Every structure is written in C-alpha cells, then in structure tokens.
Amino acid sequence: MEIHFSPEQLAFRDEVREFLKQELPADIAAKVKLGKHMSKEDHERWQKILSAKGWYAPGWPVEHGGTDWGPVEKHIFDEESAAAGAPRLVPFGVNMVAPVIIKFGNEEQKRTYLPRILSGEDWWCQGYSEPGAGSDLASLKTRAVRDGDHYIVNGQKTWTTLGQHANWIFCLVRTDPEAQQQRGISFLLIDMATPGITVRPILTLDGDHEVNEVFFDDVKVPVENLVGEENKGWTCAKYLLTHERTGLAGIGASKAALRHLKRVASKQQKNGKPLIEDTLFRSQIADVEIQLMAAEMGTLRIVAAASEGGVPGSESSILKVQGTEIRQAITHLLRKALGPYALPFLPEEMEYGYDGEVLLEDYSPSLASSYFNMRKLSIFGGSNEIQKNIVSKMILEL
C-alpha cells in the first residue's frame, strides 16, 4: 500500500501543472476563483487551448482524439485543473453525448459529431429531464413519431444547463407510447436550429441564468440522428448516467473552495481578529477539511481500483453524497464568514471587469449566491436520496 504518487505520476502532475501555469488565461482563472460569471467565449477559449494540447477529451479512445491516460492520470488532471482555477468543462458534449456516440453510435455518427466536439464547433446540451419526471426519469413524455425519413418530436425538456449557448441537444424521447416505462424510449440527436424549438431561460433562485426549458413543437429530426436502436434508448441513458456519476464527489472543486474559505476567513474579522482565529469557526473549518481529506482518500481508493480494472459499486454513490455535503458545508461557512455582508445582492460586482466601487471585497458578492446555487448539488445528478436508494438496493438485496 502506498498513498503517494509514483515518480511517473509525479512527473505527469508536474507536466500538467506547468501546462496550466503557462496556458490557463489569468482572467479565466480569476473568474473561477472569485465566482464571477463565465461567458460562452471564456469556455470556448479554454476548450481550444486544451484541444490544441490534445487534452480536451482525455476519456476518449486515442483514435478519436483522446489520451491514453489511466484513472490516476485523469484524476491528477482534474485535481490540478481545479486547483489552478481552470473552469469545469461543460460536460454535455465531450463527457456525455460523446461516450454514448462512441459506444452506441454508427461510424457515420462518429465521423460527423466527434471532430466537431473536439474542435468546439458544436456546443451540446442535454434533453433528459422533464417537468413531470424528476428522479423518475423513465416517466418521460416527450414524443417522437416516425414519419418517413423523419421523427416528429413534440414535448418539453427542462433543467437544460447552458442550453442558451448550444447548437445541438441530445434527447430521450418516447417512440413507443404503448411500452412500459424504460422500454419504448429512444436516444435522438437534434439540431437546435430546427424549426419548432424554443429555448426559455429558467432563472435560478440566486438570480442566475444557467438552466433552460426547451420546447419541441413538431420538430422534424432525420432518422439518421437516432443513436443505437429505436426503443432501446434506455441502454444509452443508463450508460450515460453511470458515466456521469464518476467525479460527482467534486473533490478538486471542494479543495479549491476550502482554500478560498481559508482566504476569506483570514480577511474577514470577528472581535477584532481574523475570523479564522476564532475557536468555533476554525474548528468548523477543521471539521470540513478532515471530511474532505477522508473523501479524497475514498476517491483515490476508487481511482486506484479502477486502474486495476475494478468497477465502482456503491462507493461512488456514497462518495457523491459525502462530496456534495462537504461542498455545501463549505459554501455555508463561506456565506457565514461574511456576517451582515452576506445580505447585499450585487450582480454587477459579479461581472468580471467590474470597475465600480467594491462594496466589501472582490470575493464577497458571489458567496451568498453560491451558497444558494450549490443547493442543487444534492438534487441534480441523481438526488442524494436516490443515491442512498441505489446503495440500499445493492447492500440489502431485498
């Protein structure tokens, strides 16, 4: 047993660090660290830099433009990226639809879509959730009716993250209305420019526009946009959800947030001293730091097992719960650190490049908003209750 990285792994880490130091634009890193708004252009700029290095799609097979990294290297890359303040990659193209196309798509689909994801030409979004189907994904209602060479799609999707930037959407649609639940669902790729598609913003409770509703009104989709077999879309959906669950513990992001917390607590004061010197507050930081240490060890254990070919079972659900609770605890402490200054809501100060009067500090405007925004972590990606159901099923076998 050995908890330290091997010399090769350390060398790789140094290479990643050096790359990030040289290539990650300072303005983007500053936005990430201070919780400022990221523009579409910011995402695209960083993605192009990664693509040029060949590191945009580490998880893809080499022949499609991926890397030969193992789980440990991927983990190191993610950790270092988060530590350096690199933006989290928008996953819908590179890490969601692409794996499905690689696994279930035909050659034509691979040739068409994968290069455009790599190059940044296409921006994908997801069409999974529906208003009536939250955790109960299989109860979805969006219909696709075959009409010659096309499907005619009608229905509504929701929680479509960054759909306002996307030119493509992958959708789960019901192609056999008679079939029960999971059966009769198909996986369709839809060009957002097709007539009949409307994107409506959903403002989240922190006032941010990150998610959207997408309406389909007699949208004509060519049949060649079907991935896998008709009515067998649930297979793709399941594969994608499993893929999505890894990394949901968000250790790298939490470590960055914890560093931020310490910085904030060193500047904020209580009783005339930095807040971090307050016994109660400091012990709360220590508590969450220890929890994070344990979750990081847990992640490393899964990563190590994966590099030996192991398939994570209940551990990844457990880590998703632990990881999101840790992240939420950190955002709680960050908000708390501001005292009465958690109240001011200053969207203008959350824009990068704001050059007006700063009310408190550069870090302060985003903290309360971020606390509220991060409540989503225990809801989306399979709520924490659903994760516990998954584990229960595995361990109880009842």
Partner 1 sequence: MDFKLTEEQQMLKETAERLVRDVYTFDKRMEFSDSEAGFSTAFWQQMGELGLTAIPFPEELGGFGGTGIETMLIMEQLGKGICLEPYMESVILAGGLIAQLGNDSQKDELLGAIASGELQAAVALDELHSHYDLSHVTTTAKAQGSSYVLNGRKGVVIGGQTAGKILVSARTAGDICDQQGISLFLVDPSAAGVRRRVYSTVDGRKGCELFLDNVEAELLGNAGDAYDAIRYQSGRAIAALCGEAVGAMRTACDLTLDYLKTRKQFGVPIGKFQVLQHRMVDMISELERATSMAILAACLADDEDSAERSAKLSAAKFTINRAARYVAEQSIQLHGGIAMTWEYNGAHYAKRLVTISHQFGDDDHHLEAYANQLSLS
Residues between 41 and 70 that touch partner 1 (CB under 8 A): none
> Measured from the CB atom, is 86 or 368 closer to partner 1?
368
x/- letters, 116..135, toward partner 1 (CB under 8 A): -------------x---xxx
- 210, amino acid identity: E
> Measured from the CB atom, is 223 or 346 closer to partner 1?
346
CB of 279 to its own copies, least distance (A): 5
Q: Specify the stretch interacting with partner 1 by CB under 8 A; choose among 16-24, 26-34, 171-179, 370-378.
A: 370-378
Distance CA 184, CA 267 (A): 57
Q: Binding partner 1 by CB under 8 A: which of 150, 352, 379, 381?
A: 379
Residues between 247 and 286 that touch its own copies (CB under 8 A): 279-280, 283
256 within 8 A of 331, measured Cβ to Cβ: no
**Per-position DSSP letters for 13-56, written without gaps between them:** HHHHHHHHHHHS-HHHHHHHHHTPPPPHHHHHHHHHHHHHHT-S
Binding flag, residue 385, partner 1 (CB under 8 A): yes
Distance CA 135, CA 250 (A): 21
173 within 8 A of 138, measured Cβ to Cβ: no
> Measured from the CB atom, is 280 or 311 closer to its own copies?
280
Residues between 321 and 360 that touch partner 1 (CB under 8 A): 321-322, 332, 335-336, 338-346, 357, 359-360
Binding flag, residue 72, partner 1 (CB under 8 A): yes
> Measured from the CB atom, is 76 or 153 closer to partner 1?
76
How many whole angstroms from its chain centre is CA 271? Answer: 39
Burial 135-168 (b: 16+ CB within 10 A, else e): eebeebebbbeeeeebbbbbbbbbbbbbbbbbeb
Binding flag, residue 246, partner 1 (CB under 8 A): no
CB of 175 to partner 1, least distance (A): 21
What sign does the dihedral 296-290-319-336 (CA atoms) show?
negative
Closest CA to 47 of 31, 23, 64, 27: 23
CB of 91 to its own copies, least distance (A): 37
Residue found by looking up tokens 């400091």 in the block? 282
**Residues binding its own copies (CB under 8 A):** 279-280, 283
